[in-house]
Amino acid sequence: MSERHVLTQFTDLGLAKPLLKALAEEGYTQPTPIQAKAIPGVMAGRDILGIAQTGTGKTAAFALPILHRLAADRRPAPRRGCRALVLSPTRELATQIAESFRAYGRHLGLTVAVVFGGVKYGPQVRALAAGVDVLVAAPGRLIDHLQEKVANLSGVEIFVLDEADQMLDLGFLQPIKRIVSHLPKDRQNLFFSATMPGEIGKLAGDLLHNPLEVSVAPQATTAERVKQQVLFVEQVRKRALLAELFDDPNFKRVLVFTRTKRGADRVAKSLGVVGVEAASIHGDKSQGQRERALAAFKAGEIRALVATDIAARGIDIDAVSHVVQFELPNVPEAYVHRIGRTARAGASGTAVAFCSDDERNLLKDIQKVTRQTIPSFDRRNDRALGAATAAIPEPAAAKPERPGAGRHPHDAHRELPNALRNTRNRRRKAKGQGQQGQKSANTGGSQKRADNAAGASFKGPKRSIASTKPWSPLD
């Protein structure tokens, strides 16, 4: 019998009572496989080499035993420092990890702080000053704090490197080494990565001492769980094809991936044009904009969230109904990460990838890495799509990519995703609260123009996808 079957309940793992109470409140009774394997090892003080991707429950796999250990050996957090340090590649993931620590540790009275770039230094410096039990940090900003000597890592007892492969993809190898040089030699190390190419293996070898290896959900597992389809289509007709997908009401909460930030903005706009509420998130958006877009997506106020890989990494949104890859990623592993967004915590999901002729080589690499042939449908030379493409005006050219582009410091209202703003305005108008004249023309104008251009009842291409039978693009 496997270890998983022996340890089927959280109560079997010996976790402190306040943790079990918090888990019960979260509605979690059974550990996921990575949790069942990693938690006893971490509680016993072992180093861990975890091969697991987002969606496997790996955050709780380290957060729970860390909280347990910190609570079992209470001592003041070191000034300007922390007892447990978690490094995360992105701010979204850092925020989510910190939220998990807070949720699971809510009955323990331990402190948690988060540090990442793109926001003011002051509050982070103040949060660090007295010391915290758990610090979750993105590498760049943590190094700034170390340089300014407002952070001191000499008291770290437990060090977690999360999403190590993504860290290296983002060029964080040197920053990680620098941060590690500030840590005391005597510490516990937990290392998590979705993939283990040679470079990551070497970093793990340098960091870990006699690690317990825990591995779950090898890449093919996600690929097996998710229903996948590739649609061959001309690059210029992708917008129309995307609009067509949204004719299917089952496309409720859809994560759309693009390769570039500008591409994300353009795709979100083109969805807005055909009446699909959408917002984009990427590295040039302010923290406030990202949080609002995410909240609107989670609340079901918008149907589509268009994201670049980096912005989407680690976003923990349950019940993403579909993942659409508007462009294929350059790195085959990213394909697996993307489709995994619709199969959270063991659920199944549907992923559709668009592939233009110049992306065929990328598709070949993806199929090689995932050891599968993805069912494909040829939508090239499709008349309905041609007509629909002509009916959807090309969104206005985006402004050049630069940090903060398009932001207006005095108008928080502008930070709302356009589609959401339009929807809210429409709702307000429906309630008789709408403002007439110039203001409504400014906020709802593009929608109105698009409606006029395509006919007032236009809701995307006519070829709609039947919702009552399994979807096939050949229908």
- List residues near ligand AMP by CB under 6 A: 28, 30-32, 35, 54-60, 316, 318, 344-345
CB of 321 to ligand AMP, least distance (A): 16
Residue whose beta carbon is closest to ligand AMP: 59
CB of 134 to ligand AMP, least distance (A): 15
CB of 60 to ligand AMP, least distance (A): 4
In terms of CB distance, is 15 or 355 closer to ligand AMP? 15
**Token representation of residue 55:** 């969606």
Name residues whose C-beta falls within 8 Å of residue 450's C-beta, 6 or more positions apart in sequence: 272, 273, 274, 392, 393, 458
Query: What span, in angstroms and rounded, lies between the C-alpha atoms of 255 and 320?
Result: 7
Q: Do residues 373 and 220 make contact, with C-beta atoms less than 8 angstroms apart?
A: no
- Burial string for 421-449 (b: 16+ CB within 10 Å, else e) reads bbbbbeeeeeeeebeeeeebeebbebbee
In terms of CB distance, is 318 or 394 closer to ligand AMP? 318
In terms of CB distance, is 35 or 166 closer to ligand AMP? 35
Task: For residue 83, report the phi and psi dihedrals to the nearest 5 degrees.
Answer: -90, -35
Query: What span, in angstroms and rounded, lies between the C-alpha atoms of 270 and 254?
Result: 15
In terms of CB distance, is 295 or 345 closer to ligand AMP? 345
HSE-CB at 385 with a 13 A cutoff on CA atoms is 22
**Token representation of residue 335:** 């394909």
Query: What span, in angstroms and rounded, lies between the C-alpha atoms of 36 and 41?
Result: 9
- The dihedral over CA atoms of 70, 73, 79, 82, expressed in degrees to the nearest 10, equals -20
CB of 384 to ligand AMP, least distance (A): 38
In terms of CB distance, is 108 or 242 closer to ligand AMP? 108
Sheet holding 322-325: strands in order across?
278-281, 304-307, 254-257, 322-325, 349-355, 226-232, 376-378
In terms of CB distance, is 64 or 264 closer to ligand AMP? 64
CB of 55 to ligand AMP, least distance (A): 5
CB of 196 to ligand AMP, least distance (A): 17
- DSSP letters spanning 71-107: HHT--PPPTTSEEEEEE-SSHHHHHHHHHHHHHHTTT
CB of 15 to ligand AMP, least distance (A): 12
In terms of CB distance, is 32 or 418 closer to ligand AMP? 32
CB of 225 to ligand AMP, least distance (A): 14
Name residues whose C-beta falls within 8 Å of residue 211's C-beta, 6 or more positions apart in sequence: 46, 47, 48, 49, 189, 191, 204
In terms of CB distance, is 50 or 460 closer to ligand AMP? 50
In terms of CB distance, is 57 or 332 closer to ligand AMP? 57
Query: What span, in angstroms and rounded, lies between the C-alpha atoms of 2 and 321?
Result: 32
Mark out the alpha helices in 370-474 (DSSP H runs): 383-391, 418-430, 438-454
CB of 64 to ligand AMP, least distance (A): 9
CA 150 to chain CA centroid, nearest Å = 30
Amino acid at 393: P
In terms of CB distance, is 320 or 454 closer to ligand AMP? 320
CB of 264 to ligand AMP, least distance (A): 22
